[in-house]
Amino acid sequence: MAINVQLFIDGKWCNAKSGKTLDLINPATEEVIGKIAHAEQADLDLALQAAAKGLNIWSNTPAFERYLLMKKAANILRERVDDIAIKMTNEQGKPLAQAKGETLAGAEVIDWFAEEGRRIYGQIVPARELGVLQLQVKEPVGIVAAFTPWNFPINQIVRKLSAAIAAGCSIIIKAPEETPVSPAELIRAFIDAGIPASVINLVYGIPSEISNYLIPHPLISKISFTGSTSVGKLLAGLAGQHMKLATMELGGHAPVIVCEDADVGYAAKEMVICKYLNAGQVCVSPTRFLIHTNIYDEFIANFLKEARKVTVGNGTDKSIVMGPLANERRIPVLERLIQDALAKGARLLLGGKRIDRQGYFFEPTVLADVPITADIMSEEPFGPIALLNSFEKIDDAIAEANRLPYGLAAYAYTKSLAKATLLGQKIKAGMVTINHDGLALPEIHFGGIKDSGYGSEGGCEAINSYLQTKLVTQKAY
């Protein structure tokens, strides 16, 4: 049966007022598998009115009740994991095991923020005279507009949604048109848990039309965007013009420094898993490998051995490691970047092209000795491509790691405590993970610096960007 993804506005699943839809395509088969309602201004106006009603209800709901409902939503998500995962694989392409992992991780994120919502503390500031109470209290910022991409259909939403509603905000989510089904299932889990109608609203449409309408709208207080740096800068500019709070989770080009004393086999094995996860369509994907010259050949041999095990196919086939790219438009971009690197002298060690079959499949690719002038050394590939280069002095590796305007994630491998400490201190990135892939747990910071954005979507700071401080100073007389 063809899928029909509707909008969710004011507690009701509905078609767009105009009746317009977009096609939903399975990237592994290129078949149209359903349609998605396409919101326009009339639908957005309804969502805004609903969110205003929702804010009134939800911000007046005790934090403990919000916590109970969110915990229930997390458990519903867990119960439905098998059904949701297959839907995600069919729309996004990732292997079923990764889709299940993402859904279960989503439940953990909901749990984390539900609990954080119970710890929204204010302050009492000592007063200068008796009888005066100076209370600094935290209030929800208001209605949030969230814009999320297609690479992690649930994860990208659940961090924004959970933080927002744990804080007492209502929200309008502009979910990804390419992968709308699993986000709708996420919202369904919250609704079935009993979150009041109108607190959460879900729309799809033309991204720029929706952001251009919602961001300046007086009812919106805060925006949160995950996507490319170029779009992020546009939206942050619009938010700035209209004095809206903003969280920006943008692109990256993660360096991986492998020191001479690293366990080469372990580092190569772990980094291959991490590189080809979700076909490299991950903002923290390891990309620029900087390997000490004395272990360069050994690392390359180990990396290739592991990368050759990355079988590619339909994510519903349990034996495969990597699915298709989520969108056809990425293929010419990857081909251009590879051709440019080869023309400038890089060596192609593995893959390098689209796989000749139905679906948006691309070979796991390894390039070595990639000149710094190659576009791919500066432009985020957002695909299954690893760039291997050597270094002699650790200071040179650090300089290369810090060369780009991006500053999202960085990886390093070394057995030396001194080098680990140096790298942790000197690499300019929002997240540095050393000797393991330790990123993206709900309880730790997730966010970038420089052109990779600002704000945090994990850990104890994340809820703060959905809260504002109010001073109430009162005198008894």
Active site residues: 249, 283
Residues in the chain: 477
Q: Which of 148, 166, 248 is nearest to 202 (CA)?
A: 148
Query: Smallest distance from the beta carbon of 231 to ligand NAD, in angstroms?
Result: 4
Residue closer to ligand NAD, measured from CB, 58 or 225: 225
Query: Smallest distance from the beta carbon of 57 to ligand NAD, in angstroms?
Result: 27
Residue closer to ligand NAD, measured from CB, 270 or 380: 380
Residue closer to ligand NAD, measured from CB, 122 or 207: 207
CA separation for the pair 374, 385 (Å, rounded): 14
In the chain, the N- to C-terminal Cα span, in Å, equals: 70
Chain residue at closest Cβ approach to ligand NAD: 227
Total Cβ atoms within 10 A of residue 393: 10
**Do residues 122 and 140 touch, judged by C-beta distance below 8 A?**
no
CA angle 212, 213, 219 (to 5 degrees): 125
Query: Smallest distance from the beta carbon of 327 to ligand NAD, in angstroms?
Result: 6
Residue closer to ligand NAD, measured from CB, 168 or 383: 383
CA separation for the pair 361, 94 (Å, rounded): 11
Helix (H, G, I), strand (E, B) or coil at 469: strand
DSSP assignment of 354-384 equals: B-SSSSS-B--EEEES--TTSGGGTS---SS
* b/e sequence 211-234, b meaning 16+ C-beta within 10 Å: bebbbebebbbbbbbbbebebbeb
Which residues sit at the interface with ligand NAD, rule CB under 6 A?
A: 147, 149-151, 176, 207-208, 211, 226-228, 231, 234-235, 249-251, 283, 329, 380, 382
Residue closer to ligand NAD, measured from CB, 73 or 439: 439
Q: Which DSSP helix (H) or strand (E) runs through 89?
A: helix 81-92
